[in-house]
């Protein structure tokens, strides 16, 4: 595969001052020389040459060409970047010329995939590149940058080192049983080390489960009985009339969504249908969806009309959401306050919601995760593999505590080791790699 020369536009497809066409593969420099007037065959790596891209006797564009030699390029193979003028027509014409001479359009993420396959980066670093491109805030970009710099690789290597120390002790005991008493070895060394490693894994897993909050935003559900101001609150947060606001109970029959940014915090807002008993079939479907969303949300905003006494519906919703990450929002504060409840007072109709915004920021001060906690995995694939590794370790620990033979214990420890390897892609299957890199943009 790596003998093929791949090509793609690596910059935006819109008009711009400059666009970059990237090529990679064996013989890329000699390939570009066929239609470039500047002399690049004998140039050193990481140099820039001025000239023209030509098609026969026709000059296509005045360009600068960067060349990269050896195995220390991004992909680990010869690369060329053609810096064109940024017109869409000219860029496409240069790209088509590359294809006419025998290059192939790169697949999504194929440059990064080649970097992985050629040993320039591990799989966690490749995933971090994609995360950096799609980062929505500072938290996500900082986390991705740490991944590119090899942060995940480093702490996974530390876990592997701890694990191999345990395995080595057991293997030595199997080969030379006269040197240590098995029960004494397990109690004095293997169990303490194994429990310590399990605790490290647990800490990383728990920290990493918050990563989606940093990268993708906080899934936020607005609930409440009909006509308490849920849609007005959504509109106030979104600063637009996205939901229908009337005095008629049951107006919001389906799910209304929107995204807002509170400084570095992203809220993926969902305004649900009012939860109440109803004979309306369509509205009842919305009520059912609302109940499902409550259990899946990262944050629940329970809206109550604080100008009126609590009803059974209000009390039912308070009970329904009591075990969630919840803020009770006491709305219609402009009309008076009649309930003694611990909550946040607002008037959604008047856009008086500052107290709610401050409460959300206080609850989700996520910056501490990136600045103080370095050992964080970046996605569900990595977290799942570490959980599998921890499970195999736990099985081995149970075997140690039950006094099972050491050759049985070491089997589970090796399984734990293999899952750690897979986080970095050391035994990843080709179909998994194809699926992962398809999520990248073209040209990266």
pLDDT at 63: 95
* Contacts (Cβ under 8 Å, ≥6 apart) of 165: 193
Average pLDDT over residues 211-218: 75
Q: Of the given ranges (78-87, 189-198, 385-394, 397-406), which has the lowest mean pLDDT?
A: 397-406
Residue scoring higher pLDDT (328 or 268): 328
Q: Of the given ranges (104-113, 228-237, 266-275, 346-355), which has the lowest mean pLDDT?
A: 266-275
Residue scoring higher pLDDT (154 or 372): 154
pLDDT tens for each residue of 256-314: 466 777 766 788 877 565 554 544 444 444 556 667 778 788 899 999 988 888 888 88
Measure the CA–CA gap between 408 and 394, rounded to whole angstroms: 13
Q: What is the dihedral of CA 222, 225, 227, 229, to 10 degrees?
A: -30
Q: Of the given ranges (228-232, 256-260, 293-297, 392-396), which has the lowest mean pLDDT?
A: 256-260
Measure the CA–CA gap between 345 and 333, rounded to whole angstroms: 6
pLDDT at 89: 92
pLDDT at 246: 36
Q: Where are the alpha helices (DSSP H) in 61-137?
A: 88-100, 110-117, 123-133
Asked if the model's pLDDT at residue 332 lies above 60, the reply is yes
pLDDT bin (cut points 50, 70, 90) of residue 401 is confident
pLDDT at 278: 47
The burial class, CB within 10 Å (0-12 / 13-18 / 19+), for 263 is exposed
CA dist 163 → 108, 194, 421 (Å): 36, 8, 12
* Contacts (Cβ under 8 Å, ≥6 apart) of 379: 127, 131, 211
Phi first, then psi, for residue 228 (nearest 5°) are -100, -5
Residue scoring higher pLDDT (168 or 278): 168
Q: Of the given ranges (54-58, 127-131, 372-376), which has the lowest mean pLDDT?
A: 372-376
pLDDT bin (cut points 50, 70, 90) of residue 438 is low
What is the DSSP code string of 336-359?
------SSEE-BGGGTB-HHHHHH
């Amino acid at each position: 595969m790596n003998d093929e020369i791949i090509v793609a536009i690596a910059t935006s497809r819109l008009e711009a001052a400059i666009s970059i066409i990237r090529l990679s593969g064996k013989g890329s420099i000699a390939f570009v020389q066929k239609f470039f007037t500047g002399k690049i065959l004998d140039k050193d790596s990481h140099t820039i040459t001025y000239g023209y891209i030509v098609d026969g006797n026709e000059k296509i564009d005045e360009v600068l060409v960067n060349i990269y030699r050896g195995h220390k390029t991004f992909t680990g193979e010869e690369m060329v970047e053609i810096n064109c003028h940024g017109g869409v027509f000219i860029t496409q014409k240069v790209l088509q010329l590359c294809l006419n001479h025998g290059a192939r359009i790169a697949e999504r993420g194929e440059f990064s995939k080649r970097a992985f396959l050629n040993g320039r980066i591990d799989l966690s670093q490749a995933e971090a590149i994609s995360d950096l491109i799609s980062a929505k805030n500072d938290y996500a970009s900082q986390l991705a940058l740490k991944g590119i710099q090899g942060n995940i690789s480093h702490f996974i290597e530390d876990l592997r080192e701890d694990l191999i120390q345990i395995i080595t002790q057991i293997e030595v005991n199997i080969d030379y049983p006269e040197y240590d008493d098995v029960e004494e070895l397990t109690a004095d060394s293997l169990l303490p080390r194994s429990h310590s490693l399990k605790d490290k894994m647990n800490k990383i897993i728990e920290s990493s489960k918050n990563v989606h909050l940093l990268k993708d935003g906080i899934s936020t559900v607005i609930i409440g009985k009909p006509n308490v101001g849920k849609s007005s609150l959504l509109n106030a947060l979104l600063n637009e009339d996205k939901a229908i606001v009337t005095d008629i109970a049951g107006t919001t029959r389906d799910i209304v969504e929107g995204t807002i940014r509170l400084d570095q915090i992203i809220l993926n807002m969902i305004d649900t249908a009012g939860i109440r008993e109803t004979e309306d079939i369509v509205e009842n479907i919305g009520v059912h969806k609302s109940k499902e969303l409550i259990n899946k949300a990262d944050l629940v905003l329970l809206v109550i009309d604080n100008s009126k006494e609590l009803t059974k519906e209000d009390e039912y919703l308070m009970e329904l959401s009591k075990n969630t990450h919840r803020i009770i929002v006491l709305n219609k504060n402009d009309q008076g306050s009649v309930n003694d409840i611990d909550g946040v007072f607002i008037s959604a109709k008047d856009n008086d919601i500052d107290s709610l915004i401050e409460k959300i920021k206080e609850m989700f001060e996520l910056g501490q995760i990136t600045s103080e906690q370095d050992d964080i995995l970046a996605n569900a694939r990595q977290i799942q593999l570490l959980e599998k590794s921890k499970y195999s370790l736990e099985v081995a620990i149970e075997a140690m505590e039950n006094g099972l033979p050491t050759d049985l214990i070491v089997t589970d420890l090796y399984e734990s080791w293999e899952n750690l390897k897979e986080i970095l892609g050391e035994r990843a299957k080709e179909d998994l790699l194809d699926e992962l890199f398809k999520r990248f943009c073209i040209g990266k």
